[in-house]
Structure 1
């Protein structure tokens, strides 16, 4: 396989065979991912705080 054919195949695959998402879909999915990332970070912050409190209580006896 020659390099020219390889890069031409990459170009054809990239521009003619891939279905790119619509801008509205991309925005909606970005908002969903952002929302769940914030929710997960708040949850993990709470769990971390709980374990810190638990360890402090456990070792202060």
Structure 2
């Protein structure tokens, strides 16, 4: 395969075969991912606090 043919195929694939998401879809997905990330960080912080509390109680006996 020649180099020029390879890059031409990449160009055709990139601009003619890929379907790019619409701006509204990107905004919605960004909001969902941001919300889920914040929720998971708060949830894991709480679980970590519970484990720290239990470990302190266990070793303070």
Extract unaligned runs of 5+ from structure 1.
none
**TM-score if structure 2 supplies the norm length?**
0.96
**TM-score if structure 1 supplies the norm length?**
0.96
> What's the CA shift for 1:3?
1.0
CA RMSD of aligned residues (A): 0.5
> Counterpart of 1:27?
27
SS at match of 1:19: coil
SS at match of 1:58: helix
Extract unaligned runs of 5+ from structure 2.
none
> What's the CA shift for 1:16?
0.6
Q: Which runs of 4+ in 1 moved over 3 A?
A: none
Paired residue total: 61
> What's the CA shift for 1:55?
0.5
